[in-house]
Amino acid sequence: MSNNQTVSFEHTIPDNLKGLVADWSSDVQTFRVRWSKAMMWIFLVSDTFIFGSFLCAYMAVRLTTIEPWPPTSEVFALHVGGADVPLLLIAIMTFILISSSGTMAMAVTSGYKKQRKKTAFLILLTALGGLAFVGMQMFEWSKLIFEEGIRPWGNPFGAAQFGGFFFMITGFHGLHVSIGVVYLAIVAKRVWDGRYDKLNDYQMVEVAGLYWHFVDLVWIFIFAFFYLW
Amino acid sequence: MEEQKHFKHPSFYPGDAPETEHPFSLYISVWILLFVLSAFSYAVDLAEIQGYLRWFLVTVFAFLKAGLVVGVFMHMAWERMAFLYAIMLPPLFLLALIGILAVDGAFVYYIRDLFMPLVG
């Protein structure tokens, strides 16, 4: 039976450009999710490899430096009330990013319940969290550049490669957060305008949420491997 | 027309099915759990734990947090297996890269440690 079907299938679809299009557009679906979600996930997998390569390169360089690696918990300390609190700013940034991930998860749920205003509000709150994160990162960068004298090619604390990896990895992550803020602002506007109510479909909120959670996910690993290791 | 009906059935996209809508309380508990795990990683630094124990703890907490974010916040726990494996397996190739670079890195360090003091 199935053999017969295969034969007839091969005979009805020609092996030329037309056939190529037919093959690719035939009603075969592997992933039972919508294209928007599948494509965002596939993009995130590719992004995983970018950040993964950065962190692997960082590991490879850190393994090979003869000079000691700068003591991150002292380099990133914040001077509060006459004492240096190690990694304080990073802890606050982590707190903000995790919170923004939480509000985004709630926005997705509100979206599926088709609560227009609540969804828009929660997405906007998430974007504001992202904005606060980028602002603190700017503060951190200017402190390291102007006060501590850290450069991509050297620094007073130890191995010269530290600055290059720090600026590349956190810079690329910060770029993702900044793009995410713009992306979320656009989605919030569209939710507020009732675009997804008209479509009767809030899937795009979930897709935007995937991107935002990924940004949080990357930060978890940067926090662990760059700041704490 | 039969075909059309089949494709539009809500269960065709499990991600949209009502049973995958979760109460806020689930997200809030995961949120709190993420804070607690972050606090643990931070505590490792404050307690000045060093060496293998530090690396082990920091890595374990990071992967636990990552699992919570991917599984619950990104809904991967409720996706079908075909999709889950297609997305989650490819990044495992990074483990091969890590392994190769670790071996190579140890060798490069050994060589530099031998010769760089001679070169000055």
Put simply, whether B80 touches A (Cβ < 8 Å) is yes
Q: Write out pLDDT tens, residues A116-167.
A: 999 999 999 999 999 999 999 999 999 999 998 999 999 999 899 999 999 9
Residue-level pLDDT at B7? 40
Interface of B with A in 5-34 (CB under 8 A): 7, 12-16, 21-24, 27-28, 30-31, 34
CA distance A80 to A94: 18
Residue-level pLDDT at A78? 82
Strand partners, A78: A85
CA distance A123 to A212: 10
Partner residue facing A220 (CB), from B62, B91, B102 = B62
Asked if residues A86 and A102 have their Cβ atoms less than 8 Å apart, the reply is: no
Q: Write out pLDDT tens, residues B29-76.
A: 999 999 999 999 999 988 888 889 999 999 999 999 999 999 999 999
Residue bearing tokens 């630094």? B45
| Best residue in B25, B73, B81 for a mutation probing chain A (most A CBs within 10 Å) | B73
CA distance B110 to B104: 10
Burial annotation B18-54 (CB, 10 A radius, 16+ → b, else e): eeeebeeeebeebbeebbebbeebbebbeeeeeeeeb
Spell out which residues of chain B touch residue A66, defining contact as CB-CB under 8 Å.
109, 112-113, 116
Partner residue facing B73 (CB), from A44, A105, A223 = A105
Reported ipTM: 0.85
Q: Are the Cβ atoms of A95 and B102 closer than 8 angstroms? A: no
Q: Report yes or no on whether pTM surpasses 0.90.
A: no
Residue-level pLDDT at B107? 94
Q: Write out pLDDT tens, residues A25-66.
A: 776 677 778 888 999 999 999 999 999 999 999 999 999 998
pLDDT at residue A182 greater than cutoff 90: yes
Residue-level pLDDT at B10? 41
Residue-level pLDDT at A82? 74
Spell out which residues of chain B touch residue A95, defining contact as CB-CB under 8 Å.
35, 38
CATH topology of domain A47-228: Four Helix Bundle (Hemerythrin (Met), subunit A) (1.20.120)
pLDDT at residue A13 greater than cutoff 90: no
Å between B64 CA and nearest CA of chain A: 10
Q: Are the Cβ atoms of B65 and A73 closer than 8 angstroms? A: no
CA distance A53 to A68: 23
Å between B60 CA and nearest CA of chain A: 10
pLDDT at residue B1 greater than cutoff 50: no
Q: Which amino acid is at A203?
A: Q
